Amino acid sequence: MNLAVLKSLTLAGVEWELSEKSPVKNIELRRTKTKGLAKEAHIPRSTRPPMSHQEILAEGQRLATEDNIPTAIQNFLSHPLYHSAKNTVLPHMGGNKLCVITDMPSLSDDASGEILSGGDGELFDKMLAAIGLSRADITIMPLVFWRTAGGRTPTDEELTAARPFVDKIIEQVNASKILTLGKLAAEKIAGAKLPGDHGKVFGNVIVTYKPDFIAQNPSVKAAVFEALKLITN
């Protein structure tokens, strides 16, 4: 892949529209919505009284046995730490060609109630298009289904509370490949470490960077595309 292609990011006929000199705030990406793709509902956070940690874990494990996982997640959210979130960010339940797992919702996701929205979502859609996929083909979920206060890293308690739903979705989707986005997802799903393990395959899990990291570090774009190609190999 020559330098001109890398700079323009014309990969598999898709223009990623990133400049190595462009700060994130100036990146403008146009997102083409997939025709017929259902938009996730914006679900307000729960207002039920807080439960103890053990009650939270027990309820999560119980609800994760239900078939309708988005509804189960909505019914689950009564954890006191959710109170800083504007919306429950439900998983995007598309097809089973790929299961994508990221760490937690962004500010844009928290405002919209949709996972991988805003500029991050636009870049992610272009990443998918570069390998011939769209959101209609895949399932996307975060490790936790709410944005933590101040965007801090989720605690072990929070990750444990949400994990039954993550595992259930992985089981239901039964995708041949899983793609993790970011350090936390790589660690918790594959036991991998970024950047050292970037692009490596752990069983059926491929690890790469989050869209916001790619936007801020365009030098990784070639390595990301090589990792993405592993999905369709």
Residue 111 has pLDDT above 50, yes or no: yes
Residue 113 reports pLDDT greater than 50: yes
The pLDDT-based confidence of 45 (bands split at 50, 70, 90) is: very low
Domain ranges of the chain: 3-232
The answer on pLDDT for 70 being more than 90 is no
210, 109 Cβ separation under 8 angstroms: no
Does the pLDDT of residue 28 top 70, yes or no? Answer: no
Half-sphere exposure of 5 (CA within 13 A, CB side): 9
Cα separation, 15 vs 90, whole angstroms: 29
**What pLDDT is attached to residue 51?**
60
Q: Model pTM greater than 0.95? A: no
Distance CA 81, CA 83 (A): 5
In Å, how far from its chain's centre is CA 170? 13
SS3 86: coil
Alpha carbons within 13 angstroms on the beta-carbon side of residue 190 total 29
d(C-alpha 208, C-alpha 100), whole Å:
11
Q: Which two tokens stand for residue 47?
A: 């207002």
Q: What mean pLDDT do residues 63-84 have?
A: 69
pLDDT reading at 19 higher than 50: no
Give the mean pLDDT of 130-156: 93
pLDDT of 61 = 73
pLDDT at 82: 55
Position 201 scores a pLDDT of 96
At 206, is the secondary structure helix, strand, or coil? strand
State the CATH architecture for 3-232: 3-Layer(aba) Sandwich (3.40)
